[in-house]
Amino acid sequence: MATNDDISTRCLYEPLEGVETLENYRPGGYHPVQIGDHFHGRYRVVHKLGHGTYSTTWLGRDERANKYVALKVCTANTNPTEADIISSLTRSHCPPGSSLGEAMLPFILDRFTFHGPNGEHTCYVTAPARSSLSTLKDGSWIRLFQLDVARSLAAQLVLAVDYVHAQGFVHGDLHLGNILLKVPSSFDELSPEQLYERYGPPELDPVIHLDDNPLPPGVPSYGVAPIWMGKASENVTLAEAKILLSDFEGGFLNGSYNLCQRFIFDDETSWVLRLPRVSSVSPRYADEKIIMEAEALHLIRQRTSIPVPVVKAWGYSKDNPLGLGPFLLMDFIRGMSLDNVFTDDQSGLLKENLCDDDIERVYRQMAKFMLELFQINFDKIGSIPN
Q: Where are the beta strands (DSSP E) in the chain?
A: 38-39, 43-52, 55-62, 67-74, 110-116, 119-126, 129-132, 179-182, 204-206, 222-224, 243-245, 253-254, 258-264, 270-276, 311-315, 327-331
Give the DSSP per-residue string, 156-212. HHHHHHHHHHHTT------SGGGEEEEPPTTGGGS-HHHHHHHH----EEEP-BTT-
Q: Which of 33, 36, 66, 67 is nearest to 50 (CA)?
A: 33
Q: Which amino acids are annotated as binding site for ATP, given as ranges? A: 72
On whether the CB atoms of residues 338 and 362 are closer than 8 A, the answer is: yes
Spatial separation of the C-alpha atoms in residues 308 and 97, rounded to whole Å: 45
**Please, how many CA atoms are within 13 Å of residue 217, restricted to the half-sphere of its CB?**
6
Strand partners, 328: 274, 314
Residue set of the binding site: 72
Sequence-distant (6+) residues with CB within 8 A of 224 are 19, 35, 47, 48, 202, 203, 204, 205
